[in-house]
Structure 1
Amino acid sequence: MFRIDRNLTADDLDKALRRDVAAGLTSTPKQLPPKWFYDERGSALFEDITALPEYYPTRAERTILERRSDEIADAADAEALIELGSGSGVKTRLLLDAMRRHGTLARFVPVDVSGDFLAASAHKVAEDYPRLDVHAVVGDFEHHLGLLPVRENGGRQTIAVLGSTIGNQEPGPRAAFLRDIRSVLRPGDTFLLGADLVKDPDRLVAAYDDAQGVTAEFDRNVLNVINRELGADFDPSEFDHVARWNEKEEWIEMRLRSRVDQHVRIADLDLEVDFSAGEELRTEISAKFRKEGLIRELDGAGFALTHWWTDPDGDFSLSLSAAR
């Protein structure tokens, strides 16, 4: 069975982009949220990034799932898997296969902001798993968790946030997001979280500033999105990609640094913005975690850590926590 709920329309996305660009380009310092990287071109570039030798997180998380997915499925013992920021790739299928082998999985609820992508990928899952009830939801999981189709038959549920997506939020919003996740679960339901771990800063910076320049093109692509969607006149070639390790916050920052003094007009917002030479626009943070810190954050949101898995090199973690 396949169904799709559309809680986010193209008009909703347009309004959100307008709000984020107007607020971000008039703030000090300037910044944009990373979700606007992912138009069709940006998504393709990110897929290229995951295959780069410097970019270890995707491989490390996949290794954990290849080795531990049956343990995860047994520990979760879930009737429903809800994946926030869903994909249709190898990682999701490893988890679905293991939960199906465990024998309890009946429903899969993939959630994503991209309606066309989600419809295609979720429909393919429904075709490949004909006994699985696939109920896709188009929505922004930072705002629409209350609209998720949960509790349909009372079975145990697992919410999954993979890929260290959690690291794109600063501590305050991240704490609120974890509490929101807890609010849609019952005691005994579980939360599967992928988190990148603190490691040598040189390796971290290299993962976000590869030798081939793919990440730099991905970073600058957000300017192409604003040009196309909001009638702006950014010249992406006048911005350098910068990745740096913030030791105090323990996160990677991606920025675009203006090469020259320049004046940019965003026509659809009737907004004009000046950049001085050397001024930086922050486009992403990617927080890295320590086990003890994650335990504190999960506990503060109402979760108790029950299982912890890493890849053999200890680069990445998957944790399972029970809702209290």
Structure 2
Amino acid sequence: MSFKVEAEISQFGGKLYKLSHESTSTNTKMDVNVYVPGSSPKTKIPVLLYLSGLTCTPNNATEKSFLQYFAGKYGFAVVFPDTSPRGANIEGEDDSWDFGTGAGFYVDATEDKWSKNYNMYSYVHKELLTELEKHFSALDFSNISITGHSMGGYGALAGFFKNPGQYKSVSAFAPISNPSSCPWGEKNFGNYLGSDKSKWEEYDPSHLIKKYAGANQPDILIHQGAADPFYFRDHQLQPENLVAAAKDSNYKGKVLLNVVEGYDHSYFFISSFVEDHAKHHIKYLGLSE
């Protein structure tokens, strides 16, 4: 499998590559953006994996997060995957904005209708990183951290807990922290994974944190806007549930939840705190002074 370079864009002294490829996990064409800083270090460049939220493509974060500026400043690469297969032509995948296209929910679907294509967990954490390692010889995919927003924040937390040792650190912006107990999670888990809720718990950060026994236990940085309607009104996000679950785990006291007044769910919120997250990760990627 090889990547097709759709665009190569100079930015902050580095290069943003817009790539596409045929995926064996989703059985569709997939898009991914990769930012590589411009400096030429003596060692390979660490990587930050950024998972986006519902409805997003790889372009949303690359155009609005300002993450590449800090990646260039501190010397790490960023990988921006897509959020779902596209063009699978499954009945119902385009009926609503919060399920199907743009809403792969970072699971491997077990229900027959979705299991051929909707395997975003395997795609993100296995196939994509393995193939990018072959394509970008200057990047160090053994020195990688993970972050994300909303659905992607949930995906980052779940991916960290499900793969002990793979990621040096994890953070999240407004994550869906307890998807088994919110409408978005119930809709997506129910359709992709079926009615057996024990399967849901295999991807739910508020359940996974209680079982996590990996030797790598970095602090988890979370920012949440207090004016986010998905937080204070719709109760989709529930980061306090993750904090509570951590109290009965090896992660007691290590979930650093910052609820900030006045901020919503948008990229205005993300871009306001993205440097905090960049600084969080460079400590664990070995880039801080």
For this structure pair, what is the TM-score category when the shorter chain's length is used for normalisation?
0.3 to 0.5
Which TM-score applies when normalising by structure 1?
A: 0.32
User: Which has the larger strand fraction?
Assistant: 1
When Rg is computed on C-alpha atoms for both structures, the one with the higher figure is 1
Which has the larger helix fraction? 1
